[in-house]
Amino acid sequence: MGNQEIKRVGVVGAGAMGSQIAMVTALGGYPVILQDIATESLQKAEAFLREQMARRVKKGKFTEEQVESAFARLTFTTELTDLQTSDLVIEAIVEKLEAKQSLFQQLDRIVPEHTILATNSSTIVSSKLADSVRRAEKVCNIHFFNPVLVMDLVEVVKGPHTSDQTAEKSVDFIKSIGKIPVLLKKEISGFIANRILGKLMDEAVFLYENGYASHEEIDLVVTKALNHPIGPFALMDLTGIDVNYFVRMQRYSESGDEKDRPAAVVAAKVEKGELGKKTGKGFYEYDENGKRIEQRV
């Protein structure tokens, strides 16, 4: 049983990340169950995925048959117990440790012993969740990047508790859905990409808050001088300013270091509910289709 193949996949959390993880997995040929406690979230996820995939069919990236057969493999449910036949479950819920620990405890009781339990978090390392279950060796991080439908890279992270077999299976699974895995042999919060990106974000926010340049100008420098496809402020809007806030709050709760607290400008945006693209306003403003509204000077 310990050597069971991954044949069925469960994804918990139907937000931007979870819905896209479920879609790329279904496109990779796996039966997938996407679970969320809110029916509305599941309906939004399906509508979003239908729209995204229709665009890709129009561009010739997929055929209608490929997309329809992927949707046929994708099940939307509010019942966690529907995941009971999954060989791999990927958690993509809110970035709060207690919520993740509670979910892992529930999953541990529901899914078979051989099932790998992975978190998509890039801040909460899996050793913080391993104590919540009886299968610590089957717990790891599998971190996809937003937007999952576009981004090729996935970070797989081996905690001190994670078995070699779990890490290998997770890497093989990522390859099987057409993504590129990078295996971190030791865990560290933020992993590779987000640790490097975090330094860039911190510096961008420092320059903005201290009046050296506007957020538009900083984004322009990063895209045109450093050749990044998107600037740090536009990226925060895309991923959700609240995500940045929760990540920093998690780090601050661990370190107690004031430097790890969310930046004042980020906290102010979260307080106002200006969370980026998903709310129509962040550092930039967006129309109902999520297209940025260019500000006339």
Please confirm, yes or no, whether 215 is among the known catalytic residues: no
DSSP annotation string for 183-237: EESS--TTTTHHHHHHHHHHHHHHHHHTTSS-HHHHHHHHHHTS--SS-HHHHHH
β-bridge mates for residue 286, sequence order = 292
**Alpha carbon separation from 138 to 2, 5, 32 (Å, rounded):** 10, 13, 19
Given 69, 146, 194, 216, the catalytic residue: 194
Given 41, 121, 122, 132, the catalytic residue: 122
Q: What is the Cα–Cα distance from 256 to 276, expressed in whole angstroms?
A: 27
Please confirm, yes or no, whether 122 is among the known catalytic residues: yes
Encode burial over 127-155: b for 16+ CB neighbours within 10 A, e otherwise. Answer: bbbbebbebbbbbbbbbbbbebbeeeebb
Q: Are strands 9-12 and 32-35 parallel, antiparallel or unpaired?
A: parallel
Please confirm, yes or no, whether 143 is among the known catalytic residues: yes
Please confirm, yes or no, whether 194 is among the known catalytic residues: yes
The answer to whether residues 103 and 157 touch, using CB atoms and an 8 Å cutoff, is no
Given 86, 126, 141, 155, the catalytic residue: 155
Given 120, 126, 141, 143, the catalytic residue: 143
Compute the chain's Rg from CA coordinates: 19
- What's the chain's length in residues? 297
Neighbouring C-alpha atoms within 13 Å toward the C-beta of 215: 18
Nearest residue to 35 (alpha-carbon basis) of 96, 85, 98: 85
β-bridge mates for residue 35, sequence order = 12, 77
Nearest residue to 164 (alpha-carbon basis) of 178, 183, 150, 177: 183
Q: What is the Cα–Cα distance from 156 to 18, expressed in whole angstroms?
A: 16
The answer to whether residues 85 and 115 touch, using CB atoms and an 8 Å cutoff, is no
Just list the catalytic residues.
122, 143, 155, 194
